[in-house]
Structure 1
Amino acid sequence: MIYLLLSILSSSVIFVVFKLYTKFGINTLQAIIVNYYIACTVGFFGYIKNFDISRVSSELWFPGTLLLGAMFIGVFYLAAVTTQKSGLSVVSVATKMSVAIPVLFGIFLYNESTGILKIIGIFLALISVYLTSIKKKDGISIEKKNLIFPLLVFFGSGIIDATIKFLETNYVAETDVGLFSSTIFAIAGIIGTCILLFQAITGGLKITFKNILGGIALGIPNFFSIYFLVMALRSPGFDSSSIFTMNNVGIVSISTLLGIVFFHEKLIKKNWVGIGLAVLSIILVSQS
């Protein structure tokens, strides 16, 4: 359970950092790419012993990290487009409700438990994510022509979590969790660097020191959000569908409360109802 709590806290810190990006005018793409290298470095120096880089490409999980690294960048880009076209609330809902994909993945592929308390808890969790994420009294509205973008964010985010579960279960040894996590970030960073090089060639690149600092601030909690999630999935007593549900709902709830404390965000009645349902869903899932 401690790993799950640490994963939730790490991911919630990421939310605070993203909010600060807006306040200080940090280029999100540049900071994200720097963040991948910082996250990779944290793993290499903090959680990897007797490292031999030549063996990484021969690991059975390596092809999966190539997919995950590319999807990290791709989903980020789609999230940015969705924010521009439909708003931040739509992105938040699409990202967090994607928990349905790894939950179904665990239930059907690994025959995880489906007790009545768990089913009710998961259902309430999805409702709580929606209610907590919306910031307008009239809910969320998406133009039909822009619907494809949040759908891609939904499926992309869900596939990332399901892929991490699949690789963690079948290929990643417990001693390789740090190396596995760092490799994902390294690949994402390399792909991101290629994007920056393209921008440099086309004359659209201007790197500033504050963007680098933004990447450093994001990279540390970002590494731990993945590392602790993988460790939580290995914890006895909870299956992956429960872990993913509690993790996502916990992130939404804590992030919302942090927004109130540090950024003086005002919540509408639906948000408070969502937080209440989030707490209830976690209790039901954990008790199941």
Structure 2
Amino acid sequence: MYVLLLSIGCSVAVSVLLKLARSRRFDLGQAIAVNYIAATILTLGLLQPQPQTLLNNPDAWGLLSALGLLLPTVFLVMAMAVRHAGIVLSDAAQRLSLLIPLLAAFLFFNEVLTTQKLLGMALAFAALICLLIKKKNLNPSQPRAFLTPLALIGVWLGYGVIDILFKQLARTGSQFATSLLGAFVLAGGFMLLILVFKKTPWTARNVIAGLLLGVLNFGNIYFYIRAHQLFPENPSLVFAAMNIGVICTGTLIGAVIFRERLGKVNVIGIALAIAAMLLLFNAI
């Protein structure tokens, strides 16, 4: 069970670090680039990928290229969401992104839609709508309040598409660790090219922030994989515990440490999100 707690802790800690990035004046571009370098090294050392298999799998490169562009882009959108909407709503939107691969499985891959799945998906949609409704006068001085729902939708849509791309990579025969390595390398290379083009000056504090971000980002993935390995007979339990744990922990930290205030409709959205997870965890 401790591996699940570590995965939940790493996931929420990423949001906390993104929350602190602006006040600490970290350059997110540098931090995200270094994050992928650190994640690449950790993937090579701990997950034992087989990068040579990618050379013999041309079908995977289109999907990997899409992931290489999408991963850092969604990371930046997540940072925007945390800054404008807070940790609570951003983490909930990220977890509700599971709705997108479920819809894709039903619409494009001929998966059977059961009553339980349908009800869970309906609750997830309702939860997302409740999360997007901003409390009146929550921050009337904010000049760009429209960024809050846009960022949350971007997080929801982005992470959902990433999930679909990884599932499609698995269909090409690529192992998850190998696919993850390829995506990290391409994402890091993409961010480095942007930094070189912008002639961004490097600083030690941004590199350190990036290393910490990379360890937490990879830790979330690694401990989640380990949890599935330790509980091979209960994958749905791991799924439910992870998603509900992140939502509840993010809500606690956001409310207690960062004093994030939620409207009544947002609170209903959090409750609906947890209910949706409970319904869907047997369907995944």
Determine the structure 2 residue equivalent to 1:102. Answer: 101
Q: Which residue matches 1:159?
A: 161
Q: Of residues 271, 275, 278 in structure 1, which corresponds to 2:266? A: 271
Structure-to-structure mapping, 1:226-245, within 5 angstroms: 226-227=221-222
Q: Please name the residue that 1:194 is paired with.
A: 193
For 2:202, the aligned partner's letter is I
How big is the shift at 1:251? 3.7
- Aligned-partner Cα distance in 1 for 2:165–2:107: 14
Q: Which amino acid in the other structure matches residue 64 of structure 1? A: L
Structure 1 window deviating more from structure 2 (64-73 vs 154-163): it is 154-163
- Tell me by how many angstroms 1:191 deviates: 0.8
The SS at the match of 1:213 is helix
Residue 190 (structure 1) shift: 0.6
Q: Structure 1 CA distance, aligned partners of 2:54 and 2:184?
A: 13
Alignment of 1:154-233 (within 5 A): 155-173=157-175, 177-200=176-199, 205-227=200-222
State the alpha-carbon separation in 2 of the partners of residues 138 and 120 from structure 1. Answer: 33
TM-score between both structures, scaled by the size of structure 2: 0.74
| 8 Å CA contact retained: 1:131, 1:273 | yes
* Identity among equivalent pairs (%): 29
Residue 227 of structure 1 and its aligned partner are, at CA, apart by: 4.9
Deviation per CA, 1:103-137, whole angstroms, max 9, x where unpaired?
11123444444222222122212322443465524
1:21 and 2:21 aligned: yes
User: 1:58 — aligned with what?
Assistant: 56
Q: TM-score, normalised by structure 1?
A: 0.73
The answer (yes or no) to whether the contact 1:125–1:278 under 8 Å persists in 2 is yes
Distance 1:79 1:263, change over 3 A: closer
C-alpha separation in 2, matches of 1:132 and 1:246: 21
The whole-number CA distance in structure 2 between the counterparts of 1:135 and 1:268 is: 7
Contact 1:3 1:231 survives alignment (8 Å) = yes
Alpha-carbon offset, residue 194 of structure 1 = 0.4
Unaligned runs of 5+ in 1: none
Is the 1:96–1:129 Cα contact (8 Å) retained in structure 2? no
Counterpart residue type for residue 56 of structure 2: S
After superposition, give the CA deviation of every residue in 1:79-107 in whole Å (9 maximum; x if it has no partner).
677889xx447x94875554332111123
CA distance in structure 2 between the partners assigned to 1:66 and 1:163 by the alignment: 10
> Structure 1 residues 71 and 94 mapped into 2: Cα distance closer, same or farther (>3 Å)?
same
Further displaced range: 149-158 or 37-46: 149-158
Deviation at residue 199 of structure 1 after TM alignment: 1.0
Greater displacement, 264-273 / 147-156:
147-156
Conservation of the 8 A alpha-carbon contact between 1:101 and 1:159 = yes
| Contact 2:131 2:270 (8 Å CA) reproduced | yes
Distance 1:152 1:14 in 2: 17
Q: 1:155 to 1:48 in 2, by over 3 A?
A: same
Structure 1 residue 225 displacement after superposition:
3.6
* CA-based RMSD: 4.1
Cα shift at 1:26: 1.1
Query: What is the CA-CA distance between 1:40 and the residue it aligns to?
Result: 0.9
Of stretches 148-157 and 185-194 in structure 1, the one that deviates more from structure 2 is 148-157
> By how many angstroms is 1:38 displaced?
0.8
Query: Distance in 2 between the 1:147 and 1:124 partners?
Result: 19
| Structure 1 position 48, deviation (Å) | 1.2
